[in-house]
Amino acid sequence: MKNNFENFFSESDFDFQEPENGHFERFENKLKATKKSDKISWKWLSVAASILLIVGFWFGRMQQKATIDLADISPKLEEVQGYFVTTIHQKITVLEKSKTPENELIIKQTLSQLEDLEKEYQQLLKELNKQGNQEKIINFMIENYQLRLEILENMLKKINQIKKFKNEIYV
């Protein structure tokens, strides 16, 4: 084994010479130079990111102001929209609390219909923003709210009828 190590070191060409004078100083200077350039690039990167964020927020706020809703058109329409939105949310809450295994499928279908009507409302909202304050679009938007509320009320009536029927059977 000793021979193997001796042969390895005698056959290999290792560089055992000392580096030239000033080698370590040159190496340290190169390291310091790369550290400085890293700090500068991070500073510029953070400044650029901050500017992009500010510009992004500004465009976002401009976009928000550019879209209008029923509430933005007149105080009366704001009141109408507020009434429908709160009433619909209340009815959906009651509907979801009334969920049982027997009526789960019907409730799921009803909520799916409401989602479809919400998508239609969003399309009407886009049209309102494109074409401006047009009475025809506003009427369609109000009818959309009315239809949603009507669907919810009919479904709650059906659920109550089913409950009454069950109670009559089991009594």
What pLDDT does residue 66 have? 56
Residues 73-121: tens digit of each pLDDT: 888 988 999 999 999 999 989 888 888 888 888 888 998 999 999 999 9
Q: Is the pLDDT of residue 9 over 80?
A: no
Average confidence score pLDDT of the chain: 80
Query: Which residue, among 106, 71, 73, has the nearest Cα to 85 in the 3D structure?
Result: 71
**pLDDT at residue 5, rounded to an integer:** 67
Residue 166 confidence (pLDDT) above 70: yes
R_g of the chain, CA atoms, integer Å? 37
